[in-house]
Structures are given as C-alpha cells and as structure tokens.
C-alpha cells in the first residue's frame, strides 16, 4: 500500500444533496496499519461500523451513513486488514498460484474438525478495530458489525466492555460457519470462486461480484446497471489488483475459535438483526446469539437476505434508533 506517516485528509462530500466533511487517517496495531474514515462531528456520539468479508469502508451504504448523521451520531468506518488501503499480509501459501488449493484444504480440514492454519484470527482483527478508537481518543462508542464484521465486533464487545455503549449485530454468527449453519452450497461455491484466477480482468471480477450480490442481496434488485458496474469497478481499483486478502480473511474465520462462551459475557445492550432468508449465515445463528447474549433483543426481517439495502433498512431503522438512544 502507499506509505503514510501521519496523514489526515479533510474531504468534502456530497451525498443526497447534503454537504458534510470527513477525516481519513491511519491507526496502527503493532505493524498493521488500519485505514479509517471519521465522518464526525466530534461532539456527536461515535458509532464504530465493522465491515464483513472483503468489504471496504467505502462499501457502507449511503442510506445508513446519512441516517446516523441525521440523528446526531458520528460514524467511524475502516478497512479491515487485507482490504482497501489497510495493510496486506504477505504469505507464501496465499500466493496467486497456491491460494485456491489453500482455501480448499482449509475447508476440508474445518469440516473434518481439524485445526485450520490462518495468518491471523478474528481476535487480531478486533484489536485492529480498537486501535482505530484509540487513535481517535474515543473512550467508548456504539459498535455495529455485519457478517464477519459482526464476528469481529463480538470479540471487541466481549474483550473491551468498557469501550462499548451499545452493540448491534447484523447477519452474523458466534459459531464458525458449517454445513448446518453457514452458506448454501451455491453461495459457498461463489465465494470460493472469487479466489480463483487472481489475474482475472476487471469485467470478470465485476461479474463475480454481481453473481454473489444476486444470491445474498435483496431479491429483485437490478444489478445490471451502470451504477453497479462503476461502483464495483471503483471499489476494485481502490483495493488494488491483489485480491488474495479475501482468502486470508476467509481462513481467519475458519481458523478462529468458537465465540459462544465469549458472547455470554457481553453485558452491553445488544440488538440482533437477521434476515429470515439469509443464504450466507442461516437465521438460526441469530436465535442462538440471542439465547447466549443476556441483554439482547432479536429482530428477524422476513424478506431480508444478507445485505441492508434500502427496503431492508427501512424495516429496522427505527428499532436501531431506539436501541442507540438507550
């Protein structure tokens, strides 16, 4: 990645005819650099948003960011390690000619209940998130995590209770994914296909993304648009040509310990949101998390899959606001 020492950018951004500014910079967890964006304002209540597998800070939907800003919150987003502008981990087993075999072997070992070797685990990524809060001198914050970001957030909330005001868990699980609680066969195949052919053309990479979103996103959303193409292209260009970080994050999920006992220690007010039709992380995971997190509220969205498009967000945004104002 580009070399930054202490860079803070002040950028003016137009979204839905509203004008607001944000700062960008780098937080460090040891040798790992985590690129973040702070939407401000500094006097508002901070809420740390933790992205899922392969997601960048730019992938958070505008309607969520706008909603938080309009209700006097301070959204803080960041690129997890191995995505976007954050540090990329170098490892021989994830080189372009070996990554596909590494992913397949990792899945086989996991299903055989054998240890999965990973370059880092979810706990390390939780420490990255805490580094962002520390960099911004934030003593405590609301925390919202989606998918893998929800796994990271679970560890953060359990390990650093003093830093958490409320916890929102969306489309996630406290158990390591398995054939019984994880992706459908079709979704699993699409995810594994993403690690193949690292030298794929831009159009091929965009098409792979389109196929995944079609399966895990809100049914009926038109993805054959110029807007989707250009947004996906911009995201790929921002992250760079090397997409092997997706595979390392995937093995981090498979190689991390089960979090069931950990989440039983969570005391922060918790809102669990999950789609009844989620093909990536089955809805049973939400019921299980609700059972083990004592101070939690569960909301199942009937027609939600794995993402939070506007028709989905409209069904829980008021619940979210009430939760954040506790």
> Could you give the 3-state DSSP secondary structure of residue 29?
strand
Can you give the pLDDT at residue 238?
Answer: 96
Q: Indicate the range of 174-188, 208-222, 266-280 predicted with least confidence.
A: 174-188
**DSSP, res 241:** S
Is 1 within a domain?
A: no
Please check whether residue 291 is in contact with residue 154, taking contact to mean a CB–CB distance below 8 angstroms.
Answer: no
Q: In DSSP terms, which residues pair with 4 in a beta bridge?
A: none
* pLDDT of residue 194 exceeding 80: no
Token digits of residue 200: 């794929």
4/14 Cα distance (integer angstroms): 26
Token digits of residue 206: 């965009």
Phi, psi of 23, deg, nearest 5 = -110, 145
Can you give the pLDDT at residue 11?
Answer: 38
* pLDDT of residue 169 exceeding 60: yes
Is 2 within a domain?
A: no
Tens of pLDDT, residue by residue over 32-42, are 999 999 999 99
Question: Strand pairing of 296-301 and 45-50?
Answer: unpaired
List of residues 6+ apart from 85 with CB closer than 8 A: 1, 2, 35, 79, 238, 239
Is 3 within a domain?
A: no
* pLDDT of residue 5 exceeding 90: no
Q: What is the CATH number of the domain that holds 40?
A: 3.40.50.1820
Please check whether residue 159 is in contact with residue 256, taking contact to mean a CB–CB distance below 8 angstroms.
Answer: no
Is 253 within a domain?
A: yes
29/35 Cα distance (integer angstroms): 11
**Exposed/middle/buried for 186, CB within 10 Å: 0-12, 13-18, 19+?**
exposed
Please check whether residue 238 is in contact with residue 84, taking contact to mean a CB–CB distance below 8 angstroms.
Answer: yes
Please state the rounded mean pLDDT for residues 80-102: 82
User: Which among 278, 254, 292 is positioned nearest to 184, based on CA atoms?
Assistant: 278
> Could you give the 3-state DSSP secondary structure of residue 57?
helix
pLDDT band (50, 70, 90) for residue 47: very high
Tens of pLDDT, residue by residue over 202-261, are 999 999 999 999 999 999 889 999 999 999 999 999 998 888 888 899 999 988 989 999
Phi, psi of 321, deg, nearest 5 = -65, -45
User: How far separated are the first and last CA of the chain, in Å rounded?
Assistant: 40
Tally of structural domains, the chain: 1
85/58 Cα distance (integer angstroms): 11
Q: Where are the alpha helices (DSSP H) in the chain?
A: 62-70, 99-111, 122-135, 148-159, 185-194, 202-216, 226-239, 245-255, 260-263, 284-292, 310-313, 317-324
Can you give the pLDDT at residue 180?
Answer: 65
Mean pLDDT of the chain: 89
Segments forming the whole domain that contains residue 94: 9-324
Can you give the pLDDT at residue 18?
Answer: 46
> Could you give the 3-state DSSP secondary structure of residue 255?
helix
Q: Which tops the pLDDT comparison, 15 or 195? A: 195
153/155 Cα distance (integer angstroms): 5
List of residues 6+ apart from 97 with CB closer than 8 A: none
**DSSP, res 43:** T
Q: Write the secondary structure of 157-182 as one string of H (helix), E (strand) and C (coil).
A: HHHCHHHEEEEEEECCCCCCCCCCCC
* pLDDT of residue 46 exceeding 70: yes
Is 161 within a domain?
A: yes
Please check whether residue 274 is in contact with residue 302, taking contact to mean a CB–CB distance below 8 angstroms.
Answer: no
């Amino acid at each position: 990645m580009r070399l930054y020492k202490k860079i803070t950018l002040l950028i003016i951004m137009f979204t839905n005819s509203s004008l607001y500014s944000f700062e960008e910079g780098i937080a460090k967890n040891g040798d790992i650099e985590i690129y973040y964006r702070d939407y401000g304002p500094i006097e508002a209540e901070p809420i740390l948003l933790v992205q899922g597998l392969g997601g960048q800070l730019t992938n958070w939907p505008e309607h969520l960011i706008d909603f938080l800003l309009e209700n006097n919150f301070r959204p803080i987003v960041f690129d997890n390690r191995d995505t976007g502008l954050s540090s990329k981990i170098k490892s021989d087993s994830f080189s372009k000619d070996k990554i596909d075999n590494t992913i397949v072997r990792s899945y086989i070992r996991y299903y055989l209940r054998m240890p999965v070797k990973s370059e880092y685990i979810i706990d390390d990524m939780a420490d990255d998130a805490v580094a962002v809060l520390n960099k911004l001198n934030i003593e405590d914050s609301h925390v919202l995590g989606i998918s893998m970001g929800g796994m990271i957030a679970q560890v953060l909330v359990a390990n650093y209770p003093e830093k958490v005001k409320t916890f929102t868990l969306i489309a996630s699980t406290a158990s390591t994914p398995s054939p019984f609680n994880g992706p459908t066969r079709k979704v699993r195949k699409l995810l594994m296909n993403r690690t193949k052919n690292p030298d794929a053309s831009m159009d091929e990479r965009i098409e792979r993304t389109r196929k995944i979103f079609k399966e895990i996103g809100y049914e009926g959303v038109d993805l054959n648009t110029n807007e989707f193409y250009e947004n996906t292209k911009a995201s790929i260009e921002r992250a760079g040509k090397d997409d092997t970080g997706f595979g390392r994050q995937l093995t981090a999920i498979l190689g991390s310990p089960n979090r069931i006992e950990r989440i039983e220690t969570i005391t922060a007010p918790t809102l669990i949101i999950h789609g009844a039709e989620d093909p990536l992380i089955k809805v049973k995971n939400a019921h299980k998390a609700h059972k083990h997190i004592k101070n939690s509220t569960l909301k199942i969205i009937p027609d939600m899959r794995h993402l939070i498009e506007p028709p989905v967000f409209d069904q829980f945004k008021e619940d979210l606001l009430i939760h954040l104002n506790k």
